[in-house]
Amino acid sequence: MTDSTSIRVPAELERKMDEAIARYPSDHRRGAAMPLLHLWQEHFGFIGDEAILWIATKLGLQPISILELVTFYPMFRQHPPGKTHIRVCRTLSCAMAGGFEVMENLCTAFGIPPPPDREGWHNPITVSADGNYSVEFVECLASCHTAPVCMVGEQLHENVDPTSAADLVRHRQSARSSPAATGNPHSHPPHHLEHRLIFKNIGRPDWTTDIDCYLRGGGYEQLKQAVTMSRSDIVNKVKNSGLRGRGGAGFSCGLKWSFIKLDEKRPVYLICNADESEPGTFKDRYIIHEDPHQLLEGILISCYALNARTAYVYIRGEFPKGAKILERAIEEARTHNFLGKNILGSGFDAEVYVHRGAGAYICGEETGLIESLEGKRGYPRIKPPYFPAVLGLYMCPTIVNNVETLCHIKHIVAMGGAEYARLGRPNNTGTRIMCVSGDVQRPGYFEIEVGAVTMGQLIYEMAGGLKPGRKLKAVIPGGSSAKVLRADERFKLKQRQAGGSTIEVELSIDDIPMDFDSLTAAGSMAGSGGVIVLDDSRDMVWVLNNINEFYAHESCGQCTPCREGSLWMKKITDRMLRGGGVVEDPKTLKTIGDNIAGRTICAFGEACAWPTQSFVEKFPEEFAARAQKPVPPSLPPEYTPEELIEEELIPTVPMAHDPGWEKAGAKGTI
């Protein structure tokens, strides 16, 4: 690999950089830092010291402002990779399907020594002796239903066979020989329990991503309708629809929009959150890859309603193909006067730009995303005062909505708010895309009316049920941060009757309606719609350890409870798995979780604490079985995790204070 620090920047590369810089306000050029880093790394392979100095000079920044990005965002590399770079997903659904075996077999095939105890595969990347191949573990690649997956260069490979992973890389051919052979969800028509609204075009053999196809299907008709309406009418339609955010929090979209003043004098910004990073979730990927103009139409209607003249699509860095598809869709829409100057003769101007992230889960949090979009580390802001609708991007009013949420806007304009609200249930209106992965026979995506399908119907009818001979053990219903539900639990929920009254009913897990309120009442949440199914073959300590490693890796490090607590929980569950668990570990895990949740700037605290709190509470027998050794004394001898794992007998009596501890040695003997 050529050393980037010894090469002059080609004119074509600098031209692309200038184009990227032009997408940001002239007094906020720092926002272009990440696009420039992506362009540099794509050309040279890595980002060396000279690259940091060059980009800093280009943007009029201090080098530290660029270096802090390179050291924060996992996708940026400071050292050359192999000629072929492979990223293997290690998060839960892929790990359950053989992701670790994929990595081990790749290392064996290419002569790359694996790190001890499967640690250290995140960073730095590991390069083969001949320099031809390099591998690294990455977090969720948002294709959980086709697990295990990996990226070879910029190409995603799904349903990878662990035993032939090396052949896949050498020959650069898709792991999927045919849709029928691998259970590609596209090969199945919509299930009769589905109500496809957002996904009506996904998987259609006659559907393409170009604008002509979209226009033939009635595309941009709602934009044409919207620009003839008043802004307040559109906002009221969204309010009346009852639409709740589909990104995870479930906050009222119309209420969020109403925070923007109709006579706002400052610039208003709209941000589409396409940083789909929650393990178990893979819906936004398909909208972007297969129906980009639907998203773009939703964005443009929203811009008009909010009087936002600039919108940014913050897309995952791991979606390089999706970013290119969106860029092409934007230019197609521009040629038809659907964006740019004087849209459809309405006098309204709007521009839409694509901004790639770089592998940081925390940027899914709206204020962390805004910080990242401004060219900084994705550190979430304190709310109050930094509510985005008041002090958002560049300290201006900003609305941040999820991909799926924005797609619903065009359908609300088409149907009307009241008619849309007839879909689903009260306070849980519209449709919702559920992503099912894990131990089911037919993992995939399913668009349902919110609350019209139960958990049992989703798992057993739509997703094909458990694998042969297996029984349901647990379900994580809303992405990896949702609290786990045990299969043999009973849940007390309040149900609204036809006359408006409510009664309390006791339900099994199979009977829980898949809506926001029911899952909250059951002690979990609907979250991002990622349903991970666990059968009776799964070790719950292993499952939690995988989740803990994700959150330990993804903590931004700004808040002490998250920074220290997430890593502490991961170290404990890792030690328990390796035979070093002590009797106090389950209690310690819960205590750590209790001291993280509610004590951080953003909701990442709850996201990393809730899995530990719920797994330890719901499966105490499994955690107790992994925590059999006595607690070492609080005074010397002090034991390292390795010693706790290796030692069969742990003495519980501390050494006397005199003579001095320094004479005692590691084993507490003089």
Strands 530-535 and 472-476, how do they pair? Answer: antiparallel
The SS3 of residue 164 is helix
pLDDT of residue 175: 45
The residues pairing with 504 across neighbouring beta strands, listed in sequence order, are 494
Q: Is the dihedral of CA 89, 183, 195, 293 positive or negative?
A: positive
pLDDT of residue 496: 74
Residue ranges, the chain, pLDDT below 70? 1-7, 115-124, 172-187, 498, 634-637, 653-670
pLDDT of residue 115: 64
Distance (Å, rounded) from C-alpha 363 to C-alpha 72?
12
Distance (Å, rounded) from C-alpha 160 to C-alpha 89?
11
pLDDT of residue 477: 97
The side-by-side arrangement of strands in the sheet containing 126-127 is 126-127, 133-138, 84-89, 150-152, 155-157
pLDDT of residue 502: 83
Asked if residue 518 lies in contact with residue 512, where contact means CB atoms within 8 angstroms, the answer is yes
pLDDT of residue 650: 80
pLDDT of residue 181: 32
pLDDT of residue 116: 60
pLDDT of residue 171: 74
42-66 as b/e: b if 16+ CB within 10 A:
eebbbbbeebbebbbebbebeeebb
The residues pairing with 535 across neighbouring beta strands, listed in sequence order, are 472
Residue 87: its H or E element: strand 84-89
pLDDT of residue 642: 86
Residue 351: its H or E element: strand 351-356
Closest CA to 407 of 520, 499, 290, 496: 290
